[in-house]
A and B are shown apart, each in its own frame.
Chain A
């Protein structure tokens, strides 16, 4: 390794790296900087307005009830799905990993929903959630109440309905990640614990869960970043309605920026989302790290 001296640079290195360097500059750095600059302007594609207005967009956003609702809904969506997805994923991972017969088959089946197009999944669920559809039939069979207009058309149930679908869809993916973490735990640890007479519950608490911690952090951050960007489900199933009850931040950004073409205003909302994601991911990392003894 030491034989190759540092600094002996070949033109082929630069050429080989250039696809990434061009992509990085053009399609990653430029949009981020452009987004930042745009958010301080009143750029509108249709009216042609384009002047620097300082932080006016940000001030306007926080008094825009639709945006506030979008932030709240996005938070509710993330906080309301994350624990379920993670707990189901861990339970399934432990279940699958304990020499279950046909383990690979079941693992694949549980994982399957997360590789099908989100548009397809959202379309299926739109029909399942419809008035008189299967989910209503199921609920009335066990005597539970349901909104007569259908889940996606009621202000109270539209967001929870999308959240439930999301948990169903992503559990298998995170299960797979936890299975990976479980497989990296040395079997000797369990054997030693068993010899010392530790019960199943104790082994879970003392060995399995602590070893899952790094993966838990990874999944937490990954899932937060993903959840905060929810868009497709909303676009296909509700278009942000009814009465903004499923309006999310990315949907707001799309609607303001690319539908009404209020570029500056939409970009400002996107930047707030960026900050929010960075902040929450950072807090999650701190939280999990501090609890590590």
Chain B
């Protein structure tokens, strides 16, 4: 009892917690209401007295501003990159956790070193590289460089190291190939780690801006965040439409967050403790 005597009383702490929550949520409430508003003050404030709902801001986006293609692009890129990471990071993580051969430590070191490299530093050579490879301004440019991430390899290696190896050993004695072992034994046991990895990779790629921005040039290759950032300077777009477009970008994130909140936070917490 003495432990809590000095902390503010329960109701007071709830009020504080709720006020802080309001600070973090208010801009998003503004975004939601703004995207559904029929009338908006020029200065960007909502006219709450005569507020009325409309979906027109959303529908006009797809008919006028051509947001359909960026949404599809973002979905394709984020999904393919996520699936790629799940497969490739599990394979690499398995080899690094279980197999022993010369040079393995060097590979592990490369993963950890690359984790620390600030990615924005190489935007110029990445631009040139995609040009030289002939994949600039294509889906390949948006997908290939991100199919295996060092964080994913690290996460999967750490997780697989904690699993007991006896099932793999007995499968190996029965003549199963390494591929069968990964596919049939390791993958199913890795479900929690794969869930964390998928949500993380999907979110990062869904929100990613700088690389999709510098590795594409045509309007048809833009992802949603790129389209959003470039829509802003557009003369014919107004704030409610911009807000509706932002909502479309924030909605999948929010849904993922509400459904996987625990997974996301636990992923960050467990990842941080190991790091």
Q: In this assembly, does A112 line the interface, its C-beta being within 8 Å of a C-beta of chain B?
A: yes
Contact present for B31 and A124 (CB under 8 Å): yes
Residues of A within 8 A of B191 (CB): none
- Could you mark each residue 238-275 of chain B with 1 if its beta carbon is under 8 Å from any beta carbon of chain A, else 0? 01001100100110011001000110110011101101
Q: In this assembly, does A287 line the interface, its C-beta being within 8 Å of a C-beta of chain B?
A: no
Task: Please tell me the size bucket of the interface on A.
Answer: 35 or more
Residues of A within 8 A of B243 (CB): 123-124, 127
Contact present for B111 and A20 (CB under 8 Å): yes
CB distance from A20 to the nearest CB of B (A): 5
Name the residue in B4, B30, B122 with the highest tally of chain A Cβ atoms < 10 Å from its Cβ. B122
CB distance from A213 to the nearest CB of B (A): 14
Contact present for A20 and B148 (CB under 8 Å): yes
Q: In this assembly, does B16 line the interface, its C-beta being within 8 Å of a C-beta of chain A?
A: yes
Contact present for A116 and B207 (CB under 8 Å): yes
Q: How far is the CA of A183 from the CA of B266 in the complex (A)?
A: 12
Contact present for B45 and A263 (CB under 8 Å): no
Q: Please pick, from A26, A122, A181, A218, the residue contacting B129 in the complex, using a CB distance under 8 A.
A: A26
Name the residue in B44, B229, B264 with the highest tally of chain A Cβ atoms < 10 Å from its Cβ. B44
Given A23-B148, A134-B45, are A176 and B17 neighbors across the interface (CB < 8 Å)? Answer: no
Summarize A's interface: helix, strand, loop or mixed: helix
- Could you mark each residue 111-145 of chain A with 1 if its beta carbon is under 8 Å from any beta carbon of chain B, else 0? 11101111111111111101111100100000000
Q: Please pick, from B94, B122, B124, B148, the residue contacting A19 in the complex, using a CB distance under 8 A.
A: B148
24 A-B pairs whose Cβ atoms sit less than 8 Å apart in the complex: A6-B102, A16-B95, A17-B92, A20-B88, A20-B92, A24-B110, A38-B125, A101-B10, A102-B14, A112-B25, A117-B209, A119-B246, A123-B228, A124-B28, A125-B27, A132-B42, A132-B43, A173-B268, A229-B121, A267-B124, A270-B122, A271-B121, A273-B118, A274-B118
Question: Which residue numbers of A lie inside 8 Å of B, CB to CB?
Answer: 4-10, 12-13, 16-17, 19-21, 23-24, 26-28, 30-32, 34-35, 38, 92, 95-96, 98-102, 104, 106-113, 115-128, 130-134, 137, 168, 172-173, 176-177, 179-181, 183-184, 190, 194, 199-200, 215, 218, 225, 228-229, 231-232, 235-236, 250, 253-254, 257-258, 263, 266-267, 270-271, 273-274, 277, 281
